[in-house]
């Protein structure tokens, strides 16, 4: 009898130990996941222009095609940051455009995507991006663009508490910019 109680006590201890290890792993993974986006910042592409060509750029007061710019506006009451990426480079036939917005510490990363590359040309688009869950403060805004290559990346500092709107541009001189 004593031997039987000893075996079931060992089984109980092993079960409790296994459950504790599983709980620590699950909670540990959840905490690690939460730390990747501590502010709860999310974003999406609201819309985009059609492909800009030389003819349409010449007939409007368009920004020079040798610049890639971000114009931003922050609404403190809704915690919403709207960014217009002017002259984002994509394939001429990209299908649907999209973006992924992530935050890590004080850096907001906007990675831009195209669905397809159906044409043998590239062109410039304007993108309107909405980012929610943003607190007034200082951030680094970083764009990851599919056609930037080794050109100057579009990365800039903002102080949304002190200056809720502004713009930043970089010079681009490789195709599809500056043509």
Residue range(s) defining the domain that contains residue 162: 42-171
- Structural domain count of the chain: 2
Looking at the structure, do residues 85 and 13 belong to the same domain, yes or no?
Answer: no
Looking at the structure, do residues 5 and 85 belong to the same domain, yes or no?
Answer: no
pTM, entire model: 0.75
Looking at the structure, do residues 53 and 28 belong to the same domain, yes or no?
Answer: no
**63 within domain boundaries:** yes
**176 within domain boundaries:** no
Looking at the structure, do residues 86 and 153 belong to the same domain, yes or no?
Answer: yes
Tokens of 42: 């999310």
pLDDT digits (tens, 9 = 90+) for 82-136: 999 999 999 999 999 999 999 999 999 999 999 999 999 999 999 999 999 999 9
Which has the closest alpha carbon to 133: 3, 46, 11, 42? 42
Looking at the structure, do residues 46 and 131 belong to the same domain, yes or no?
Answer: yes
pLDDT digits (tens, 9 = 90+) for 133-170: 999 999 999 999 999 999 999 999 999 999 999 999 99
Please give the C-alpha separations between residue 42 and each of 79, 132, 141, in angstroms, as whole numbers: 11, 6, 14
Looking at the structure, do residues 32 and 66 belong to the same domain, yes or no?
Answer: no
Looking at the structure, do residues 72 and 103 belong to the same domain, yes or no?
Answer: yes
Looking at the structure, do residues 132 and 153 belong to the same domain, yes or no?
Answer: yes
Is 60 exceeded by the pLDDT of residue 75?
Answer: yes
Looking at the structure, do residues 155 and 95 belong to the same domain, yes or no?
Answer: yes
Are the C-beta atoms of 67 and 169 separated by less than 8 Å? yes
Judged by DSSP in three states, 24 sits in helix
Ranking 11-15, 17-21, 48-52, 108-112 by mean pLDDT, the lowest is 17-21
Looking at the structure, do residues 52 and 119 belong to the same domain, yes or no?
Answer: yes
Which has the closest alpha carbon to 134: 45, 74, 71? 74
Per-residue confidence (pLDDT) for residue 53, from 0 to 100: 78
Looking at the structure, do residues 60 and 29 belong to the same domain, yes or no?
Answer: no
**178 within domain boundaries:** no
Please give the C-alpha separations between residue 129 and each of 15, 28, 72, 141, 178, in angstroms, as whole numbers: 50, 33, 9, 12, 24
């Amino acid at each position: 009898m004593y031997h039987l109680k000893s075996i079931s006590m060992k089984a109980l201890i092993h079960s409790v130990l296994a459950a504790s290890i599983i709980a620590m792993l699950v909670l540990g993974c959840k905490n690690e996941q939460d730390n990747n986006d501590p502010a709860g910042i999310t974003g999406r592409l609201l819309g985009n222009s059609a492909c800009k060509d030389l003819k349409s750029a010449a007939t409007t007061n368009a920004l020079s095609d040798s610049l890639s710019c971000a114009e931003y506006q922050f609404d403190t009451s809704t915690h919403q940051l709207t960014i217009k990426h002017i002259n984002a480079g994509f394939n001429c036939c990209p299908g649907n455009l999209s973006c992924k917005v992530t935050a890590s510490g004080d850096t907001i990363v906007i990675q831009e995507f195209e669905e397809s590359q159906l044409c043998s040309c590239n062109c410039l688009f304007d993108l309107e991006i909405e980012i929610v869950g943003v607190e007034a403060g200082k951030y680094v805004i970083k764009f990851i663009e599919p056609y930037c290559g080794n050109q100057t990346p579009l990365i800039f500092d903002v102080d949304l508490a002190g200056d809720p709107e502004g713009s930043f541009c970089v010079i681009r001189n490789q195709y599809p910019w500056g043509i």
